[in-house]
Structure 1
Amino acid sequence: MMVTVKPIMIENYPFIAVSVQLPKTNLLAVANEKGYIMCGALDVNLLNEQLKDRGIIAGRAVGVRTIEQLLEAPLESITIAAEKLGIKVGMKGKDALLKMI
């Protein structure tokens, strides 16, 4: 198992990319201090229901295997707090991150 944490820039804004290689899958996330996008492992329903009071800004893309794919993939689901920022289902991951600036 390998864990990679590295800074990345999206249109001159800094983010942190995290990749965890697990047996038969990868756990992927890109975040800043305001919110994050993540691979299919993210449970958006949990964030919207049981953790709603936290106002977590997050989006989920499925079928991605790399950070690059996560940035380009359309978001399959988003949190209520993300929607309030103008993030929409179907938006590319990198575009959603730029709404979190």
Structure 2
Amino acid sequence: MLTVNPLEVEGMHFTAVTVELPKTNLLVISNEVGYIMCGALDVDLLSEDLADRKIIAGRAKGVKTIEQLLHAPLEKITDASKGYGWQAGMTGKDALLKIA
């Protein structure tokens, strides 16, 4: 099943996507600037192989819901995200507010 919902974080608007897969969920919260995602995100691919695209993205591991993704620390971020003040260890919510 695929679920797409609007998500408001401190008055800022994002899109929350949940893809229910066998034995796991794929979770993404995004806006037009960037996104955060569950552990399925290959940050190294984005930072190395697709570096020229300057993708703003971060990964949180061990999350099972959109709510958990908002409050989990980002385990890894793309190099381009650092330009927006993102740091590994910050919560997904804090990262999203920096690109709102």
- The alignment's TM-score, normalised by the length of structure 2, stands at 0.99
Q: Read off the aligned partner of 1:97 and give its amino acid letter.
A: L
**What is the CA distance between 1:80 and its match in structure 2?**
0.5
Which residue does the alignment assign to 2:85?
86
The runs of 4+ residues in structure 1 deviating greater than 3 Å are: none
Alpha-carbon distance between aligned partners in 2 of 1:40 and 1:83, rounded to the nearest angstrom: 19
Q: CA deviation digits over 1:54-95, x for unaligned, max 9?
A: 000000000000000000000000001101110000000010
For the aligned residues, what is the CA RMSD?
A: 0.4
Structure 1 stretches lacking a partner, 5+ long: none
Which residue does the alignment assign to 2:96?
97
Alignment of 1:13-92 (within 5 A): 13-92=12-91
Q: Read off the aligned partner of 1:72 and give its amino acid letter.
A: H
Alpha-carbon distance between aligned partners in 1 of 2:39 and 2:31, rounded to the nearest angstrom: 19
Aligned length in residues: 100
Alpha-carbon distance between aligned partners in 1 of 2:18 and 2:63, rounded to the nearest angstrom: 12
Alpha-carbon distance between aligned partners in 2 of 1:99 and 1:13, rounded to the nearest angstrom: 10
**What is the CA distance between 1:47 and its match in structure 2?**
0.2
- The alignment's TM-score, normalised by the length of structure 1, stands at 0.98
Alpha-carbon distance between aligned partners in 2 of 1:7 and 1:41, rounded to the nearest angstrom: 22
